[in-house]
Amino acid sequence: MTKNREVAQALEEISLLLQIEGKDKFKSLSYARAARSITGLGEDIENIRDRGELTNVPGIGKAIADKIESFLDTGEIKLLVELRERVPVKVWELEAIPDVGPKTISLLYRELGVTDLVSLEEALDAGKLEGLKGMGKKTISKIADGIKIARAGASRTLLAEAMPIANRLVERLSRISDVNQAVVAGSLRRRRETIGDIDILVDASKASKIMDAFVGMEDIADVLVKGPTKSSVRTKDGLRIDLRVLPTESYGAGLQYFTGNIDHNVKLRAIAKTKGLLLNEYGLFRNDEQVAGQGEEGIYDALGLDYIPPELREDMGEIEAAQEGKLPKLIKLEDIRGDLHTHTDQSDGKNTIDEMLDAAVEKDYEYYCVSDHTQSLTIANGMDEAHVLKRIEEIDELNASGRWKMKILKGAEVDILAHGELDLDDSVLDQLDIITLSIHSRMKDTKQVMTERVCHALESKYAHILGHPTGRLLLKRPEFEIDMEKVFETARHNNVVMELNAHPQRLDLNVGNLRAAKRWGLRIAINTDAHRTGELDYMQYGIFQARRGWVEKYDVINTLPPKELMKSLRK
DNA sequence: GCCGTTTTCGGCCCGACTGTTTTCAGTCG
């Protein structure tokens, strides 16, 4: 996956440099489009290249595919090298300044020789920006302020951190009189793993009053934009919030437009055009007559598309599927019948088994698997064989007691050791209901070693589920190097289920891997990995991620009734 | 450079806001 980021960055840089050169606008847009597409892939671009399917990726044609291959083979793209020579500007630094784009960068470079933040600062201090075309006092001071923001770097926020903040905002806005409804839009509504800002849409006829209330809220550090229908602020903790107000008759169109993503919207508007229609945030229009717009459904319908759930709106095939009536029936939270990966205070969890079970019953689960860590994970107080056997006895007694109206399953999260051996003796593994295998050590193994190690573990007859298969921690630790296609193939042969770990910092598998797992005919287990009672709520984030990965109810084993669940795990 | 319900050429989403301008260019989403 690190390669995906590198390729996307290279293409994005080409796009920016082409824009700075100001030659062919559409060519530069193509590179940007391709870069966004790769960013949204999830799946390893190297695997796609190996299958010879690069040009199947939306926005990638022959020319860009060749450049990607060149980058993967040599680490270079000739065009990029040449562009950097012609325009030796550190685009990433300058582009990060708010309100500074290609035209401004071009002007600053051509007129003043500015190539990075340091030389820009020097030019500012020397008063050299004054007198340049379009550079008034306000623009110059904006640039000066923007340098600090560029230095701080773009920050992203976990979905699970942003969602409560956004919900509180929506609630506050809803309470303003004249507001009919307020709702979260943007990447938050698409349930992306991390978000860059919070987008909120308000349905109201009198916008100005709402704008005043919005920018006047506590915790607002800066007002970035304020107009009659649209405002942006930055909160004291650095989060950007965009607010758009639209009247009721445009609410659906506004929601559609504001949910995005850009490529999804662009394609929809192009389809509208072919039908002699105009689509914007006010509605879908034939000449001046509004054909649809109060609800989102009406817009998709009028464009000849099935309704596309927000989580799929990334132009990754969903529009074509909607045209053909082939959209997946996405899984829902209510479909889940139990949690198969949870911890207690017997290893590194914070609550007792009784407390966890009480919390699980609250969720109306039909089964619940207790799966604490095993011995080699000493830092998590992992259990040895004797401890696991004691736990097995205990759970048998709990089940016999009938105190909880659900089946308590005996499990363990068994460490995969250095060469793919399992961290418990077979005689003990044999007595467990569900065994989840996980990597917690040697995460810097080479791709080949890691792949062999995991695949060897999956070949064990005790391998039921592969836990958090790529080991990533969002915004913190990248996925470890591993050939997921090999892993999927081995899992397929050995009837091993892939976990979608629902912890908001993991969401592991990612979207591309979920779709790839589906292609392999693999089944998924959506598990919270809860270490305390409240974390059982993480299931909703797993469902969000599953939906983004086009996962349906029948793909997921913990939607099955208890008997069928156990049957499905048999070797 | 990409792409196809105008299909291998000729298009390429659409509008809000800002600052600097006297009507618009640049940026952003």
The pLDDT value given to residue A23: 82
Nucleotide nearest A64, from its CA to each C1': B1
Pairing of strands A434-438, A407-415: parallel
A491 CA to B15 C1', in Å? 49
Cα distance between residue A160 and residue A172, in whole Å: 19
Give strand letter and number of the nucleotide nearest A140 (CA to C1'). B19
| Cβ(A107)–Cβ(A131) below 8 Å | no
Beta strands in A393-538 (DSSP E): 407-415, 434-438, 465-466, 497-501, 524-527
Cα separation, A466 vs A391, in Å, equals: 22
Whole-number Å distance, CA A225 to C1' B19?
12
CA distances from residue A140 to A95, A97, A100, A104, A113 in whole angstroms, order as listed: 15, 12, 11, 11, 17
- What's the Å distance between residue A274 CA and nucleotide B10 C1'? 15
Residue A527 sits at φ, ψ, to 5 deg, of -130, 150
Residue with CA nearest to B25's C1' atom: A134
pLDDT of residue A110: 93
Q: Which nucleotide is nearest to A273 (CA to C1')?
A: B13
Q: Which nucleotide is nearest to A275 (CA to C1')?
A: B5
Q: Which nucleotide is nearest to A55 (CA to C1')?
A: B2
| Separation CA A112–CA A128 (nearest Å) | 8
Displacement of CA A182 from its chain's centroid (Å): 24
Q: How far apart are CA A432 and CA A546, in angstroms?
A: 27
Cα separation values, A241 from A195, A244, A433, A446, A502, Å: 11, 10, 47, 41, 26
Confidence (pLDDT) at A24:
86
> CA A166 – C1' B20 distance (Å)?
35
**Which domains does chain A show, CATH number per domain?**
2-151 (1.10.150.110), 157-246 (3.30.460.10), 253-323 (3.30.210.10), 333-568 (3.20.20.140)
Cα gap A272→A286, rounded to integer Å: 10
Which nucleotide shows the minimum CA-to-C1' distance to residue A104? B26
Which residue's CA is nearest to the C1' of nucleotide B13? A266
Locus of tokens 């470890």: A480
- The protein residue nearest nucleotide B6, judged by CA to C1', is A274
What gap in Å lies between CA A468 and CA A17, rounded to an integer? 39
Distance in angstroms (rounded) separating the CA atoms of residues A497 and A556: 9
Distance between the alpha carbon (CA) of A131 and the C1' atom of B20, Å: 12
Is the CB of residue A147 less than 8 Å from the CB of residue A121? yes
Closest residue to B28 (CA, C1′):
A99
Taking the C1' atom of B14, which residue's CA lies nearest? Answer: A280
Omega of the bond leading into A261 within 30 degrees of 0 (cis):
yes
**Rounded distance in angstroms from the CA atom of residue A235 to the C1' atom of nucleotide B20:** 29
Whole-number Å distance between alpha carbons of A371 and A374: 9
**pLDDT given for residue A45 in this prediction:** 92
Cβ atoms of residues A150 and A105 within 8 Å:
no
Nucleotides of B under 7 A from a protein CB: 1-3, 5-6, 11-21, 25-29
Q: Which nucleotide is nearest to A245 (CA to C1')?
A: B16
Q: Which of A368, A436, A370 is nearest to A407 (CA)?
A: A368
The nt closest to A58 (CA vs C1′) is B2
CA-based R_g, chain A, Å: 26
CA of A134 to C1' of B22 (A): 14
d(C-alpha A166, C-alpha A533), whole Å: 24
Q: What is the CA A231 to C1' B15 distance in angstroms?
A: 14
Nearest-angstrom CA–CA distance, A64 and A77: 10
**Can you give the pLDDT at residue A304?**
93
Identify the CA nearest to A42 among candidates A551, A557, A562, A549: A549
Residue nearest to nucleotide B20 (CA to C1'): A134
d(CA A502, CA A363): 16
d(C-alpha A413, C-alpha A438), whole Å: 7
The Å distance, CA of A138 to C1' of B1, is 37
pLDDT digits (tens, 9 = 90+) for A191-247: 999 999 999 999 998 888 899 999 988 889 989 999 999 999 998 888 999 999 999
Q: Is the pTM for the entire model greater than 0.75?
A: yes
* pLDDT for A1: 65
First to last CA, chain A: 32
What per-residue string of b and e applies to A368-392 under the rule 16 or more CB within 10 Å gives b?
A: bbbbbbbbbbeebebbeeebbeebb
Q: Please name the residue ranges forming H helices in A309-349.
A: 318-323
C1' (B25) to CA (A67) span, angstroms = 33
Q: How far is the CA of A273 from the C1' of B5 (A)?
A: 11
Question: For chain A, which residues score pLDDT lower than 50?
Answer: none
Task: Give A270 CA → B17 C1' in Å.
Answer: 25
Nucleotide whose C1' lies closest to the alpha carbon of residue A65: B1
